[in-house]
Chains A and B, each alone.
Chain A
Amino acid sequence: MEELKLLGCWGSPFSYRVLWALKYKGVEFEYIEEDLVNKSQLLLTYNPIHKKIPVLVHGGKPIPESIVILEYIEEAWPQNPLLPQHPHDRAAARFWIKFGEDKAPVFYRFFHTAGEEQAKATKEAEELLRTIQEHGLGDKKFFGGEKLGLADIAYGWIACWLDVLAEAAAVPLLALERFPRLQEWAENFKQVPLINDNLPDPVKLLSHFKSRRGEIIAAPTS
């Protein structure tokens, strides 16, 4: 069997996506924790263009960008499929995965801003979550329907990071409880055994993001 490594970061939702997909497929891999402040030569070699985690390395060949990695995992290990069979349903899953990706910078802005700018960013983030809840999830148990799928894994940040970021940035408007269907989805998501066995430590996450928020607020504005 070819060597499989994941370069990731314990606090990163992008890193966790890949971890969850690999666990779901039941494949063995080596996890390498990266220090994002002092990026390793390994990371810079494997992802010279973006210099970011996660990177999956399979048989010595690197695959960067979490969404590209998710599709790769689905194709390289067809057992326990994470995408539906029908091309139209696959297109729908891909649409929502892309939506989350494209809007991520808009979404995370509330965490990096303060005052009026933060109020505006919070409103935008709220609208995004409502769109995801109403159009993406709808009445379904999972984004994928009855079963967990790739879109659920891609939106795992809602289940584990949203409340942490909202609390750290003191933005109660974005607490998960204000999005009841997403909250229900998050419970179902976290109860899937393979996800449940691989959840980030919420206490450690909150402490980390509170400290990050402190740094952001303290930084001089230009």
Chain B
Amino acid sequence: MASSDGEVKVLGTWSSPFVMRARIALNLKSVSHEFLQERLWEGKSQLLLKSNPVHKKVPVLIHGHNTISESLIIVQYIDEVWSSAPCILPSQPHERATARFWAAYLDEKWFPSMRAVGMAEGEDARRAAIGQVEEGLVLLEEAFGECSKGRPFFGGDRIGYLDIAFGCFLGWLRVTEKMTGVMLLNETNTPRLLKWAHRFCSDDAVKDVMPETEKLAEFAKMIMSRVKGAAPGTGKS
């Protein structure tokens, strides 16, 4: 089997949910690693540009001589290299396919719909954007029921691949709730996800890497004012 020898580093930022995925996976496997923070507003580091020349994005996992990019691919790599520690992906092919399906849905549809809430201009657009996020959460609530089968996490008794893929977005979800005044996770529509979110964020593998909502909210305000300020001809403050 592949050697787990070699220094482990994660290149990333504290605010990125995708970076969080890599760190949670390493924590689950109790793999000590160095977190190298990119200061993206100062320009991308030489290390980042060299390690991920195609996308020039975080996270990047550096393991000895190997560099791996793309957060979910990193999580799978971690699961395969440190194979004796708790398993991240389910063991059955069909359950693995289900986890991968929902992870792809989260990245391709759900998270973009949540980002769209922050960028929506005008009350109608905002309400429509929130509606999209809520519809997605109802689907995810159902998926939770099917995957967890009454146990605490999507992965069963412990955090697994889909918990990591979804849970990393909880910080930004809470910021969106704060910004809009809408409780996206709630007792009425998503009772199971509401409880799962609390369990996920309290887990030892997660709590030190999940940013505080206040800090993230401040950061979000700063980004949005930069984006809106930089956009030409918007004429809006």
Listed in ascending order, the chain A residues whose CB lies under 8 Å from chain B are 49, 58, 61, 63-65, 67-69, 71-72, 75-76, 86-88, 90-91, 94-95, 98-99, 131, 135
Contacts and interface: CB of A to CB of B under 8 A. Distances in A.
B73 interface: yes
B80 interface: yes
Nearest to B100: A68
B101 A87 contact: no
Interface residues of B, number: 23
A72 B93 contact: yes
30 contacts: A49-B105, A49-B139, A58-B94, A63-B94, A64-B101, A65-B101, A65-B104, A68-B97, A68-B100, A71-B97, A71-B100, A72-B94, A72-B96, A72-B97, A75-B93, A86-B2, A87-B77, A87-B80, A87-B81, A88-B77, A90-B76, A91-B68, A91-B74, A91-B76, A94-B70, A94-B76, A95-B68, A98-B70, A98-B73, A99-B54
Contact of B104 (A68, A75, A90): A68
Nearest to B64: A88
Interface string B79-99: 011000000000001101100
Interface of B: 2, 53-54, 63, 66, 68-70, 73-74, 76-77, 80-81, 93-94, 96-97, 100-101, 104-105, 139
Given A68-B101, A68-B104, A88-B77, A95 B70 contact: yes
A94 B73 contact: yes
Contacts of B93: 72, 75-76
B123 to A, nearest CB: 25
Contacts of B73: 91, 94-95, 98
Contacts of A90: 76-77, 80
Nearest to B2: A87
A173 to B, nearest CB: 22
Contact of B54 (A75, A76, A86, A131): A131
Nearest to A75: B93
Contacts, number: 59
Query: Considering residues A64, A94, A99, which has the most beta carbons from chain B within 10 angstroms of its beta carbon?
Result: A94
A135 B97 contact: no
B64 to A, nearest CB: 9
A30 B174 CA distance: 46
B96 to A, nearest CB: 6
A88 B80 CA distance: 9
A135 B77 CA distance: 20
Contacts of A99: 54
Given A87-B2, A90-B77, A135-B54, A95 B69 contact: yes
A76 B100 CA distance: 15
A75 B63 CA distance: 25
Q: Which 7 A-B pairs have the closest CB atoms?
A: A87-B80, A75-B93, A72-B97, A76-B93, A91-B77, A88-B66, A91-B68
Contacts of B63: 88
A65 B77 CA distance: 21
A76 B97 CA distance: 10
Contacts of B104: 65, 67-68
A91 B22 CA distance: 14
Nearest to B81: A87
B14 to A, nearest CB: 24
Contacts of B97: 63, 68-69, 71-72
Nearest to A93: B73
Contacts of A69: 97
A22 to B, nearest CB: 14
Query: Considering residues A65, A87, A95, which has the most beta carbons from chain B within 10 angstroms of its beta carbon?
Result: A87
A130 to B, nearest CB: 12
A69 B93 CA distance: 10
A94 B75 CA distance: 12
Nearest to B136: A49
